[in-house]
Amino acid sequence: MNAPTKTPNASGWKPGTPVEGDNAMGGPDTATGNRALMLEEPLLFEIGHSETTGVDFDFAAKLDLAGVEQPSPPTPAPAGRLGDFERSEPIGLVGLTEPETVRHYTRLSRQNYAIDLGLFPLGSCTMKHNPRLNEKVARMPGFADVHPLQPVDTVRGALEVINELAFWLIHLTGMHGVAMSPKAGAHGELCGILCIRAALEARGDARKVILVPESAHGTNPATAAFAGYEIEDIPANSDGRVDLDALKSRLGPDVAGVMITNPSTLGLFERDLKAISDAVHEAGGFVYCDGANFNAIVGKVRPGDLGVDAMHINLHKTFSTPHGGGGPGSGPVVFSEALSPFAPLPYTSRTKDGVVHLVEEEDADSFSKEHFGGRMRHFGRMTAFHGQMGMFTRALSYILSHGADGLRQVAEDAVLNANYILRSLEDVLDAPFAHSGPCMHEALFSDKGFADGLSTLDLAKGLIDEGYHPMTMYFPLVVHGAMLVEPTETESKAALDQFILALRSVAERAKAGDETLKTAPFYAPRRRLDETQAARKPVLAYKDQSAPAGTPVPSEVGAR
């Protein structure tokens, strides 16, 4: 595979941050510390103080905006109705004007990296492109202004959206039912595992063990443990896939189910999933599929055809709703026919007369008797209300605007882009599973071949200087110094080529033992931060000083 030959930065543009010291750009120091459009930004507490206010309440503060002292209040403050709960000490929050506040956050945002600024190799785990059409729809007053406690007759349109999205999620996954209320991936996992527990207990066969591969998302074993199960590892084969024979030999009357991510966190399709499902079902267990990576197969593969019993769908991954700080997650769970009767309340259902009903505790039994010919055995409720409505409108917009062919192309392009990355880099970076064939939506590399003393972290910091947010690092745990790159479907070949150029360059430096990588980044608003200290002694509240006092421990004085 030939490396891209395009020259980077042909125009010779230079970023304006100092390389070292105050004056490294060659020009004179500035009085403010700012460098033209590169603005230094203090903390809110350093900008304002608690004696001022940006809001014109009567006597809220002693000084007005111009700093003129205000007369005393003409009447005493109303007698406290809070009794002992009344605040006895000042809260200490700074008072800022609206423009001061807006500028503060806008300035900070300029020091950040974002999906709207460039390729984000963390991929959909953190954010993929959020089509603006979704945002337009979500902001329509009929959707944006509804409240979950409004009378049902006033929110028929919202119920239609939930039901329509539910229909498409079932259709796209080839499943039988869906719970729309879980609020994110891990919440969806819990919903699915509780459903499995309810189904097993209903047949008087409560089991003890859930099997989870070592490459699983950490939330998988955490979920199973939280639901009261013991966790056992499933070994992997040399291709990074679940070892079918080892799994089969472990199955037995104590195994409640398996949790398998497909495509896996290694960016690989579990080719044996159907055989795994058949074996698990034969042993009386259930198959939970972590659907976090459904974006790689949407429109191509229906998990229902692979024997999956429950799978959460991260609307904020596959269906492009904002997250990673930009919005809440949403994790609807689709169910097989065997598990559907145990799904949580509430749910929506369209009856023959065309009306979409919201089914909650009060009428769940009568509704299912009338329309499904029997009582369902809902395990309970995951949330107070009906789910992340704002994400439902966005996800449905995404599904309907793409259509069946568009969604298929989402998966195809995501996989094509990842394979382009994989094959463009495998000659400089070790790709542990590249021999097993194409990857799915993620390309996985290890730190094998780096010079002594240089690590994945150093490469990642070098990538910051190249103008990219680093990829997922040190996950999955089964690969040494893992680097997991998910370019997503929206990147053009030109964008991928530039990223590949940057990553090839830092990879070559890591292999050649370029010591400057150890102190990268050089051009970010801040140089390398002490992540160890941030984890050991986190400063979580402003306390007038920049670091906690105390006797330094060996790691702080550099004993290592």
Cα–Cα distance measured from residue 372 to residue 355, given in angstroms and rounded to the nearest whole number:
16
Contact between 421 and 409 (Cβ < 8 Å): no
Closest to other proteins by CB, 404 vs 539, is 539
Q: Which amino acid is at 296?
A: A
In the complex, minimum distance from the CB of residue 453 to other proteins, in angstroms, rounded to a whole number: 12
Q: Which stretches of the chain bind other proteins, using CB under 8 A?
A: 218, 455, 457, 473-475, 477, 531-532, 535-536, 553-555, 559-560
Closest to other proteins by CB, 8 vs 453, is 453
In the complex, minimum distance from the CB of residue 482 to other proteins, in angstroms, rounded to a whole number: 10
In the complex, minimum distance from the CB of residue 230 to other proteins, in angstroms, rounded to a whole number: 10
> 506 vs 166, 192, 433, 452, 523, CA distance in Å?
45, 42, 21, 15, 15
Three-class SS of residue 210?
strand
In the complex, minimum distance from the CB of residue 121 to other proteins, in angstroms, rounded to a whole number: 18
Closest to other proteins by CB, 106 vs 555, is 555
Contact between 452 and 511 (Cβ < 8 Å): no
Which one, of 236, 238, 237, 196, lies nearest residue 212 by Cα?
236
Closest to other proteins by CB, 133 vs 553, is 553
In the complex, minimum distance from the CB of residue 243 to other proteins, in angstroms, rounded to a whole number: 19
Three-class SS of residue 412?
helix
Closest to other proteins by CB, 28 vs 550, is 550
In the complex, minimum distance from the CB of residue 110 to other proteins, in angstroms, rounded to a whole number: 27
**Residue 113 CB: number of other CB atoms within 10 A?**
15
In the complex, minimum distance from the CB of residue 536 to other proteins, in angstroms, rounded to a whole number: 5
Inter-axis angle of helices 389-425 and 156-173, nearest 10: 30
Q: Which amino acid is at 152?
A: V
Surface-to-core class of residue 364, CB atoms within 10 Å of its CB (0-12 exposed, 13-18 middle, 19+ buried): middle
Residues ≥6 apart with Cβ < 8 Å to 226: 190
In the complex, minimum distance from the CB of residue 460 to other proteins, in angstroms, rounded to a whole number: 12
The two tokens of residue 82 are 């809070």
Cα–Cα distance measured from residue 259 to residue 310, given in angstroms and rounded to the nearest whole number:
10
Closest to other proteins by CB, 159 vs 463, is 463
In the complex, minimum distance from the CB of residue 560 to other proteins, in angstroms, rounded to a whole number: 6
- Long-range Cβ contacts of 223-232 (<8 Å, 24+ apart): 223/186, 223/189, 223/190, 223/193, 223/259, 224/193, 224/259, 226/190, 227/190, 227/193, 227/194, 227/197, 228/197, 229/193, 229/197, 229/256
Closest to other proteins by CB, 140 vs 477, is 477
Closest to other proteins by CB, 19 vs 557, is 557
Closest to other proteins by CB, 55 vs 553, is 553
